[in-house]
């Protein structure tokens, strides 16, 4: 028997028909965790949805997306095409025409030019941290949600910083470089244990708070400064100002986002306020530290060392690019003692890649199967409890629309003939996302609801899952 496809009508310029997919079960993507699995076992059984056409979902994964992500998507029954590399624009345009989902990392540029050809595309998964390789506005305006994984590598960064604290305190970088040059230089002067020293964390978010735990475990005293008042972990202590932190810390480590407020947050004045012989670590963003000021503070002996993982200008590819052509002070920096320079590897571990694979693939499954947008970077974040077996004739209506007055009234007029069990709506700029579960609906009802929603001028995309 051929199972009918449920069609989600395309946006204005999308000509090819799109289908809205329904999974065989509303399997929770986080049910892989045993805790969640046992918690879910006590709830109502998930609903067997029809039509069951997850095999029709076409996914293109580029840039060697981690195996963990591939496995999650394949386990859903989706058709997954996997490529190790990115694609040049002409080939990308050819491939993207067909797919409902694309998974990329940082090299694939999803410009408006490319996305215009993506007639069936529902969602983009960026299996990385950043999303500036995607035209987020264009995607949003065409009902294409974008997901990424901003925090999966927090632990990796925190561990790198721990390594750097010890490396700086013991001048390991310099000793190792000397040995590589054939020089034996055994010194203990100005080499320290880290036990009992004070670590000052600027920005107590995902990375800063992980680091706090690790540093305390090694006998450090932890203080932190954040624009938000945050509960301390362990015996760490929040200080009221950056100046307080700089005056007290033996090691200052930066974990703030790149914003106008954090640009050159550490410059001449701040180096002045730091303890003589203290250390600076920056694995946040390159703009946060004024590098010429750091060079000055290092030459004067104000700071005893620094570790930099991020830079104002970073090369797009690996190679011999870390020169004055990239940043005018590049060679001065390279000539300093006890300065650790790493090529933005804070989050670059196998574990982080695996975690990113899981997080983004889970988000894609949730979006495809349930319409949940939690974690999306370009559409309003909306979540709603799953349908269950106790609700056999229910359908989930998803309506992405322009955020103009009167839409909700019109949508509710369309849904008014049915019992709306639950409904949620949120907006972000001129885009809005509505989800409603309606009960006691038949095939004809579903078609009518869809046709009526599609006829509204506010419509960007309609999907109905049932």
Ligand X SMILES: NC(=O)c1ccc[n+]([C@@H]2O[C@H](COP(=O)([O-])OP(=O)(O)OC[C@H]3O[C@@H](n4cnc5c(N)ncnc54)[C@H](O)[C@@H]3O)[C@@H](O)[C@H]2O)c1
Q: CA 286 to CA 309: how far, in whole Å?
A: 8
Position 359 contacts ligand X (CB under 6 A): no
- Nearest distance from residue 305's CB to ligand X, in Å? 18
Catalytic-labelled residue, pool 74, 116, 344, 402: 344
Handedness of CA 15, 93, 138, 425 (dihedral sign): positive
Q: Which stretch binds ligand X (CB under 6 A): 73-81, 97-105, 146-154, 321-329?
A: 146-154
**285 in active site:** yes
Q: Which two tokens stand for residue 458?
A: 């506010």
Among positions 305-344, residues that touch ligand X (CB under 6 A) are 309-310, 344
Position 208 contacts ligand X (CB under 6 A): yes
Residue (54 or 167) nearer to ligand X, CB: 167
Q: CA 250 to CA 64: how far, in whole Å?
A: 41
**105 in active site:** no
Residue (127 or 225) nearer to ligand X, CB: 225
Among positions 104-143, residues that touch ligand X (CB under 6 A) are 129
Q: Which two tokens stand for residue 338?
A: 């006890």
Burial class from Cβ neighbours inside 10 Å (0-12, 13-18, 19+) for residue 457 reads exposed
Position 292 contacts ligand X (CB under 6 A): no
Q: CA 97 to CA 120: how far, in whole Å?
A: 7
**314 in active site:** yes
Q: How many CB atoms lie within 10 A of CB 302?
A: 16
Q: Yes or no: say if 248 and 200 are a contact pair by the CB < 8 Å rule.
A: yes
Residue (213 or 227) nearer to ligand X, CB: 227
Letters for 244-283 (x = contact with ligand X by CB under 6 A, - = none) are: -----------xxxxx-xx--------------------x
Catalytic-labelled residue, pool 142, 285, 366, 463: 285
- Nearest distance from residue 199's CB to ligand X, in Å? 15
Give the total of residues touching ligand X (CB under 6 A): 31
Position 397 contacts ligand X (CB under 6 A): no
3-state DSSP assignment of residue 233: coil
Residue 126: closest CA among 102, 144, 93: 102
Closest residue by beta carbon to ligand X: 205
Q: CA 290 to CA 268: how far, in whole Å?
A: 8
Q: Which two tokens stand for residue 29?
A: 């993507």
List 200, 347, 371, 375, residue binding ligand X (CB under 6 A): 347
Q: CA 152 to CA 355: how far, in whole Å?
A: 6
Q: How many CB atoms lie within 10 A of CB 454?
A: 15
List 66, 120, 154, 386, residue binding ligand X (CB under 6 A): 154
How remote is the C-alpha of 380 from its chain's centroid?
Answer: 15
Q: How many CB atoms lie within 10 A of CB 56?
A: 15
- Nearest distance from residue 343's CB to ligand X, in Å? 10
Position 204 contacts ligand X (CB under 6 A): yes
Residue (253 or 386) nearer to ligand X, CB: 253
Contact positions toward ligand X, by CB under 6 A? 129, 151, 153-154, 157, 202-208, 225-228, 255-259, 261-262, 283-285, 309-310, 344, 346-347
Annotated catalytic residues are: 285, 314, 344
């Amino acid at each position: 028997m051929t199972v009918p496809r449920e069609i989600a009508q395309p946006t204005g310029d999308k000509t090819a028909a799109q289908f809205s997919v329904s999974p065989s079960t509303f399997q929770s993507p986080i049910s892989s965790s045993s805790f969640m699995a046992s918690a879910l076992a006590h709830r109502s059984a998930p609903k067997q949805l029809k039509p069951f056409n997850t095999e029709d979902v076409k996914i293109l994964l580029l840039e060697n997306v981690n195996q963990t992500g591939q496995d999650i998507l394949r386990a859903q029954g989706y058709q997954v095409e996997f490529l190790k590399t990115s694609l040049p624009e002409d080939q990308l345009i050819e491939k993207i025409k067909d797919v409902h989902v694309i998974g990329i990392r940082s090299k694939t540029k999803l410009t408006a030019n490319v996305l215009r050809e993506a007639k069936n595309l529902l969602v983009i998964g960026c299996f990385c941290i950043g999303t500036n390789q995607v035209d987020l506005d264009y995607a949003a305006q065409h009902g294409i949600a974008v997901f990424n994984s901003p925090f999966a590598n927090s632990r990796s960064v925190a561990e790198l910083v721990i390594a750097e604290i010890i490396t700086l305190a013991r001048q390991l970088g310099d000793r190792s470089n000397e040995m590589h040059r054939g020089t034996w230089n055994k010194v203990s002067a100005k080499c320290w244990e880290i036990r009992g020293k004070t670590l000052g964390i600027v920005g107590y978010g995902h990375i800063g708070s992980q680091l706090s735990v690790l540093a305390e475990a090694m006998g450090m005293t932890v203080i932190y400064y954040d624009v938000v008042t945050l509960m301390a972990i362990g015996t760490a202590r929040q200080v009221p100002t950056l100046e307080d932190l700089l005056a007290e810390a033996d090691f200052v480590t930066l974990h703030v986002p790149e914003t106008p407020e954090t640009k050159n947050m550490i410059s001449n004045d701040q180096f002045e306020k730091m303890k003589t012989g203290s250390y600076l670590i920056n694995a946040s963003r390159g703009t946060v530290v004024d590098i010429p000021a750091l060079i000055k503070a290092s030459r004067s002996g104000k700071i005893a060392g620094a570790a930099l993982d991020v830079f104002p200008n970073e090369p797009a590819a690996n190679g011999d690019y870390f020169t004055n052509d990239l940043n005018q002070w590049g060679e001065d920096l390279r000539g300093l003692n006890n300065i650790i320079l790493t090529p933005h590897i804070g989050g670059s571990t196998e574990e982080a890649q695996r975690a990113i694979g899981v997080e983004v693939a889970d988000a894609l499954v949730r979006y495809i199967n349930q319409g949940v947008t939690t974690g999306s970077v370009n559409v309003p974040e909306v979540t709603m409890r799953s349908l269950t077996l106790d609700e056999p004739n229910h359908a989930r209506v998803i309506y992405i629309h322009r955020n103009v007055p009167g839409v909700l009234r019109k949508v509710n007029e369309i849904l008014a003939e049915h019992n709306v069990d639950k409904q949620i709506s949120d907006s972000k700029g001129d885009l809005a996302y509505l989800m409603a579960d309606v009960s006691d609906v038949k095939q004809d009802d579903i078609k009518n609801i869809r046709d009526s929603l599609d006829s509204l001028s506010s419509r960007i995309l309609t999907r109905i899952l049932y």
